[in-house]
Structure 1
Amino acid sequence: MPVSPDMAEDLAGAVAALYEQAELALIEKVTRALAAGLDSPLWTDLKLQSIGHLRTAIEDIIAALQADAAGAIHTVVAEAYNRGTTAAVVELGAVAPAVATIPAGTRAVDRLASALVQETGATHGRILRTGLDVYRQVIADATSAPLLGATTRREAAGRALAKFADRGVTGFIDRSGRAWNLTSYAEMATRSALGRAAVQAHTDQLAAHGVDLVIVSDAPEECPRCKPWEGKVLRREGASGPGTVEVEHATEDEQMVRVRVAGSLPEARAAGLFHPNCRHSVAIYLPGVTQPPAPKKDRSRATYEQSQQQRYLERQIRAWKRRAAGSVDDSARTRANARVREYQGRVRELVAETGLPRKSHREQVSAAR
């Protein structure tokens, strides 16, 4: 069966949920710490004296996250690799029923998991810095605002905390220069790593059985980076760039066929194929037998831009749910929940218009631990 990064998409949710729980716990810890005694004339002094307690609470969140995330990452990377291995064995078995599974690449799994643990672990220090910085900033804003006649202390604190809930823990930049918040960055990094694990397992199996060529599927709602590779034959590894190779027919002994290849799989991936959320897959190419894939019938009437609009609306739903969690009073919480319902309605309209499947799990905010 063909292999695609999205065959491990469901696994990334387990890791992303841990980071979402940590981010929500941070928002709630900071909000509750600041809301306590907010109307007291001694509030500023009490809050500054309590910063050590908040630091300890945030460090506890980080410690729990580090312990849980490392184990979860090793588990899901191993499962993604196994799925890629199974996909290759199914394909190879259709050609040569006697094909046996090559033992799982333990070293490859460990290497991919360790790299992901390191990448996501680098975000943990920013959780502490962000929490303490926001805490101090809210104290400063809430203390100075009434003196300037601008607003009440409660209103100033509420606005500052609402901004924090919207942003979450930010400041993460990927290789392309795009900025992410903590949860989105962890999910993106995990999805990318799991996709690599599945594809690598597939190609490891093909290499072990001497298969050198693969073919890219035709997927719906494709993005501009992937479109040039649709339906193209690629070398599993080796030289980049297009060319023609002469190989033996897959089923006819001593019969040679010429195959036009568009480049190598590593080259295509470097150019954007198999980016996060990519729906393309690769499968074994059997010279003289495999036919170019027929254009896949869209599962919906949607364009790539509309699928990205859905992702935007999902992020807004989660953001307003975080805003509700970071509200210092009931009226602000009510307004935030109203915005949640507004964006949920927009998702329903988009789904009805385009036929895109609604992914309710992407609209959920995991409960804080």
Structure 2
Amino acid sequence: MSDYNIREAFEKIEDELIDSMMRNFSRHRAEETKEGYNWTQWQAEQLKSLEEYRKHNAKKFGKRFKTINSKVEEMIRTAKADGNASQEAEILEAVKDGFKAPKKPSAHSTAEFFKVNDRKLDALIKSTTDDLKRAETAVLRMSNDKYRKAIFNAQVAMNTGAVTYEKAVDMACKDMLNAGLNCVEYKNGARHTLSDYADMAVKTANKRAYLRGEGEKRAEWGVSLVVVNSRQGGCPDCAKYIGKVFIDDVYSNGNKSDGNYPLLSTAIKNGLFHPRCKDSTSTYYPELDDLDAPLSEDEIKELDRQRGIEEKQQYAQRQAERFDRRAEYSLDEDNKRIAQTRADEWHDRADMLEEKAKKAGNSLPESVAKSGKSGIINKKTTTVDANNISIIANSSPTIQDTKEFLDLLNNNSNDNIKRAYKNYSSQLNSVKYNPSGGCYRSDLKEISYGYPDKNQLADGRSKFNILSHEYGHFIDYVGVFKNLNFREIDAIKQSVKLSNNLIKNKASISDEFLKALRKDKSALSTKIFDSTFRDDLFSSSASAGVQDAICGMFGTKRTKMKWQHKDSNYNRIYSSFKQLKIEKDVQKVYINLGYDASNQAKVKSIVRDYETASETWANIMSAETCGGLELEYVKKYLPNSYSSFLNIMKELK
């Protein structure tokens, strides 16, 4: 059984747990219809099924877990043996080529070392299998908890009388189907499924066992120098070690007296061979080997670009799997259909990115060698560091948050977004972390922001959605853009002598962006009450920005979106016009501009576009910064506004 098959085995168990749960819900629907249960009886029957579900799973999967765990131990021991055999063949080949080994193998001289090595291997096996056993227990416990919670939530939803049984169950199970049985929590707070954790744990253990096998054979020959291999597709975090020689004091029994080289343990402590690391070492023979030069800055940047593509592909794959679960297990046919459509879209995107990642990996050496001609990596791109955005970095709750945000920016393919942060953030007077929400105060140049809650994160929202949204407002206010026109806004100002305090010329209310926004408004006007359209929006919190724009365009009370600002927010400017008693003067301006402003309701709707544009701009800035499903919704439903945003950002000085 390979590490791939281990993942597959756990995925099958996870699918069976969810499938069994959803079958019970479906079966009890049929019984309720046939026998006329009331909801109290239904809940009692479901709780009875839960107890049977728990006992059945513990018995059924306990045996399968035991079988898998024994295979894991076998795999780790095989990996060590493979490393040992591979290294012996390599050393013997080097001896033929003239390498003079410090000593020949002697079982007597190194017996104690091998005993220690065996104890370390046994400890690795025990640690890996013990961790898997804890995760296996956790997945059964979580499936029971999710079932119990779904029973309660389904009854609450059904008691309202507003939804069908199928929709009630789908709503109750939505979080579980979105995230899967993510029963393993890492120390950084990230949650992972059993299959994903097992994949990481087993691959890491196999790699360490293989390295231990190699090291054991080196120690037999008295060899301890290793070099980190130059290779395609490695991780940028470890690129600094490529081509460097180390004394292997971890696996090959080396020590400082073996040469004027750093210890491998120091590199490992600093991140080399981290979980899922793609790097490896090979034995270094000083009299035979010519060292490759360390990677250049351009080569490291290319690796970083390649990793960015891989991360996007992995994200798309996770989204595809998420919607696959909802398409497979939802009870309501409309929900199944919508989820399948989204799953197909994400599978297509994942396949496209996978192909792109392969091409990036295959082209790495050539692109580096021919960078002067190919133009692949010689194009200068903006890099953002903590000093560039110090006022934001200093507001982060943790150093890890700052690192994640910098990675998000630097992996962004839109250089204009990076320039916006690098060149303008110093103009902010204050940035504060506020768990209760976010806002931008233009008069103070002050941002406050929080993070979406865990349910919203699982439902597609980015961790940095709120921060980048408020920063979008900031750029809208202070950004200096070339080639923007304000014919509409200037006409109002000149007619009624308005000050900039009421309406400031900014990118979001330029003629260019307003024209694009109104095109999207016209296209959406025929869809806002379509059930398929609304189901698509409500299927994920990632559509919050689009829902917000729709509320601005057509009215919060009218559209009843789940994510919104109050109507009073969108109507602020018109309310000011009314207070100043200039609404009729503004009406004349609109008529002169050729707008249909035959009554004040239509004037109010046109004026409302200004606040709508402001929020839409910030939402698009957030989506373009964070990417993922948020950006997919923007591209799908606000295509003209998105295109205009990209063009305007190109003109940011």
Indicate the TM-score class for this superposition, using the shorter chain for normalisation: 0.7 to 0.9
Does residue 26 (structure 1) correspond to residue 17 (structure 2)? The answer is yes
Q: TM-score, normalised by structure 2?
A: 0.46
Does residue 198 (structure 1) correspond to residue 189 (structure 2)? The answer is no
Residue in 1 that maps onto 2:139: 127
Name whichever structure is richer in helix by fraction. Answer: 2
Q: SS of the counterpart of 2:282?
A: strand
* Structure 1 Cα separation of the partners of residues 121 and 340 of structure 2: 42
Q: Which amino acid aligns with 1:91?
A: E
Residue in 1 that maps onto 2:153: 141
Q: Which amino acid aligns with 1:345?
A: D
Q: Which amino acid aligns with 2:247?
A: R
Q: SS of the counterpart of 2:157?
A: helix
Q: Which amino acid aligns with 1:81?
A: K
- What is the aligned-residue identity percentage? 23
* Structure 1 Cα separation of the partners of residues 10 and 260 of structure 2: 45
* Structure 2 Cα separation of the partners of residues 303 and 124 of structure 1: 34
Does residue 157 (structure 1) correspond to residue 169 (structure 2)? The answer is yes
* Structure 2 Cα separation of the partners of residues 148 and 207 of structure 1: 72
* Structure 2 Cα separation of the partners of residues 90 and 315 of structure 1: 41
Matches within 5 A, 1:27-176: 27-38=18-29, 40=32, 41-42=37-38, 43-97=42-96, 107-174=119-186
Q: Which amino acid aligns with 1:341?
A: D
Residue in 1 that maps onto 2:325: 322
Does residue 305 (structure 1) correspond to residue 296 (structure 2)? The answer is no
Map Cα deviations across residues 222-249 of structure 1 (whole Å, 9 max, x no partner): 43431221111111107xxxx9x786xx
Q: Gapped runs of 5+ residues in structure 2? A: 362-653
1:336 shift after superposition: 3.1
Matched residues, number: 332
Residue in 1 that maps onto 2:495: none
* Structure 1 Cα separation of the partners of residues 9 and 85 of structure 2: 28
Q: Gapped runs of 5+ residues in structure 1? A: 1-9, 248-258, 359-369
Q: Which amino acid aligns with 2:312?
A: Q
* Structure 1 Cα separation of the partners of residues 303 and 354 of structure 2: 9
Does residue 233 (structure 1) correspond to residue 259 (structure 2)? The answer is no
> Which one has the largest radius of gyration?
2
Map Cα deviations across residues 317-360 of structure 1 (whole Å, 9 max, x no partner): 333333333222444333333333212211232244443499xx
Q: Is the 8 A contact 1:142 1:152 kept in 2?
A: no
Q: SS of the counterpart of 1:287?
A: coil
Q: Which runs of 4+ in 1 moved over 4 A?
A: 97-109, 294-302
Q: Is the 8 A contact 2:240 2:294 kept in 1?
A: no
Q: SS of the counterpart of 2:237?
A: coil
Q: SS of the counterpart of 2:53?
A: helix
Residue in 1 that maps onto 2:553: none
* Structure 2 Cα separation of the partners of residues 330 and 224 of structure 1: 45
Report the more deviating stretch, 82-91 or 207-216: 82-91
Q: Is the 8 A contact 2:135 2:183 kept in 1?
A: no
Considering only aligned residues, what root-mean-square deviation do their CA atoms show, in Å?
A: 3.2
Higher relative contact order (CA 8 A, sep 6+): 1
Aligned equivalent of 1:333, options 330, 333, 336: 336
Residue in 2 that maps onto 1:350: 353
Q: Which amino acid aligns with 1:155?
A: K
Q: Is the 8 A contact 2:57 2:140 kept in 1?
A: yes
Q: SS of the counterpart of 1:214?
A: strand
Q: Is the 8 A contact 2:181 2:194 kept in 1?
A: yes
Q: Is the 8 A contact 1:212 1:236 kept in 2?
A: yes
1:202 shift after superposition: 0.9
Q: Is the 8 A contact 2:235 2:303 kept in 1?
A: no
Map Cα deviations across residues 144-191 of structure 1 (whole Å, 9 max, x no partner): 113234433321211222321222222423355543222111111111
The 3 A distance-change label for structure 1 pair 357 and 118 is farther
* Structure 2 Cα separation of the partners of residues 319 and 65 of structure 1: 25
Q: TM-score, normalised by structure 1?
A: 0.79
The 3 A distance-change label for structure 1 pair 352 and 61 is same
